[in-house]
A and B are shown apart, each in its own frame.
Chain A
């Protein structure tokens, strides 16, 4: 518990950490708020009030159907939040499975994971999404699964050297000879050692999921039309960019700020949980990676 507080304080101490926590906090708060309240109803369209300029009634104006841009962006934030969370969880699960295979004592599993990762890493996420989109059509699942597979593989590739080192370290060997199982070693020796890298990769994959959503939705294989999302807002305003260029600014700006915040948050969290870079953590006794398991 004490350790969690030290980590939280170290994140908050830096300007980047504060910025990212505030942005991500607002994102979550707005997503929840949009479930119960938006300034205008999403479906109250006014055919005489299309492409309106910003006003007290429509804070960011209206789009081509007369719907309120601000309300759609608010509602879109929850879709992107769900996609980011699900895609990250998916990639964490797949990545950790592959890392477990890499670090396992069985040569068959270890080699199999290497072959799988090497073979599939060079296939772009968008191709996976397009293959999935043929049977599934445009859906949130396409974005989540495609990003999950793409980043899960990447996660395993990036963490592989560290995971192997940890799995073959003296700590791990002595634990094994003392009768510990493979799962114990994985959770108490491999995981803490790859944690800093893992955090950075997961925050990157959350950011890339948001980016992928906007791209895939524009291409017609992401979030289905009618479901609010930032990609949807961006795609609808793109069609009329020559008439109303200003509407295009908002959704893109929103995505950029959120993705920057996600990446910054990952960097700060990595520095905060890594005892090598965080002096506060060392001073308070939580020194080595293998110590972590016992203090819980």
Chain B
């Protein structure tokens, strides 16, 4: 419990630190922020109106505390371009991104765990070498290129085997679940293959270590086969490590997800963030960056706590030699 509280305190402190960093990054810009947001060829009147409406005429410290106060109350400011509340926009975008991440993670876990298990357990050297190469190459593919290859292979219209739509997301969103799901298939598969390769490497090294351990020998001595022992006991022992890796994978996945959303024209968080950055909608960028960072810090916090719960050895570290 003490650990959870300590970790929670760390989470809150880092969150504050991140908010300062994000806020500062947007203020160290050379030149006037309002001018930058308005664009090069705008009239002085437009610049002045943006400065006023975005609150940029107030002192910097006041701007920061105001922003922070808003964040704590769920008010993330409003977009310069659309005038809509940023919180609402992000909510719509999240309904694309979170299913994408969840599906990608699912694909990565199926690929990583199953292949990693086979790569460890197979008696045939050829199979083990093949999985080894698969893991090496899969982890080295640029997300952009992997997505393109899948489009060229499996998309309707462009691909060799037309199965899934190549781009876009149904305008009515999840009210058309079949279309929505099928438009996420290729993007999720791309992310899944790349991160599955990483997970596969970790799974293999964790299971290989266990394979020669006394625990597996003991389980086999009590009548289980090698595979049964690994599935029933091995995975349970490797679990804390795999949870940690999956947590990190989650963070690394986002780079892929942002590229993939742009490639597949999915109106998700990554696509929106890049668009807002291009449009110089800086207040929106500031809030969105903070929200993303907060989300990942939270995931890190949860993963650490789960890891602690799963691994009894971690609970009393001072008793270890």
Taking beta carbons and an 8 Å cutoff, which residues of A are in contact with B? 115, 118-127, 130-135, 207, 211-212, 214-215, 218-221, 231, 234-235, 238, 241-242, 245, 248, 251-253, 255-257, 259-260, 263-264
Contacts and interface: CB of A to CB of B under 8 A. Distances in A.
Interface stretch (B20-28, B43-51, B58-66): B20-28
Given A119-B10, A134-B25, A215-B255, A263 B140 contact: yes
A127 B293 contact: yes
Interface string B279-309: 0001001000100110011011101100000
Interface in B1-50: 7, 10-11, 13-14, 17-18, 21-22, 25-26, 28-30
Nearest to A125: B255
Given A124-B255, A134-B282, A260 B152 contact: no
Interface of B: 7, 10-11, 13-14, 17-18, 21-22, 25-26, 28-30, 136-137, 139-146, 148-149, 151-152, 158, 247-248, 251-252, 254-256, 258-259, 262-263, 273-274, 277-278, 282, 285, 289, 292-293, 296-297, 299-301, 303-304
Contacts of A238: 144, 148, 263
Given A219-B262, A263-B136, A234 B296 contact: no
Contacts, number: 138
A260 B137 contact: yes
16 contacts: A122-B247, A122-B297, A123-B18, A123-B293, A124-B292, A125-B252, A126-B254, A134-B277, A135-B28, A211-B140, A215-B256, A218-B144, A219-B258, A256-B141, A256-B142, A256-B145
B113 to A, nearest CB: 21
B288 to A, nearest CB: 9
Given A218-B262, A245-B152, A252 B248 contact: no
Contacts of A118: 7, 10, 300, 304
B304 A256 contact: no
A122 B251 contact: yes
Contacts of A126: 254-255, 258
Q: Is the interface of A mostly helix, strand, loop or mixed?
A: helix
Contacts of A214: 142, 144-145
A134 B141 contact: no
A238 B260 CA distance: 12
Contacts of B17: 119
Nearest to A242: B158
Nearest to B135: A263
A60 to B, nearest CB: 16
A208 to B, nearest CB: 9
Contacts of B139: 259, 263
Contacts of A122: 247-248, 251, 296-297, 299-301, 303
The 9 closest A-B pairs by CB, nearest first: A122-B300, A252-B145, A259-B140, A119-B14, A126-B255, A124-B254, A214-B142, A260-B140, A124-B251
A121 B244 CA distance: 12
Nearest to A204: B139
A219 B293 contact: no
A209 B213 CA distance: 36
B145 A131 contact: no
A256 B137 contact: yes
Contacts of A255: 140, 142, 145
Nearest to A212: B255
Given A220-B274, A221-B277, A241-B148, A215 B142 contact: yes
Contact of B277 (A123, A125, A130, A215): A130
A78 to B, nearest CB: 18
Nearest to B28: A135
A220 B142 contact: no
B299 to A, nearest CB: 6
B26 A134 contact: yes
Contacts of A130: 273, 277, 285, 289
B273 A252 contact: no
Q: Which of A115, A133, A238 is packed against the most chain B CB atoms within 10 Å?
A: A238
Contacts of A220: 274, 277-278
Given A131-B25, A135-B29, A219-B262, A119 B297 contact: yes
Given A118-B304, A134-B25, A255-B142, A219 B274 contact: yes
A85 B305 CA distance: 36
Nearest to A114: B10
Given A126-B258, A252-B148, A264-B136, A121 B248 contact: yes
A122 B251 CA distance: 6
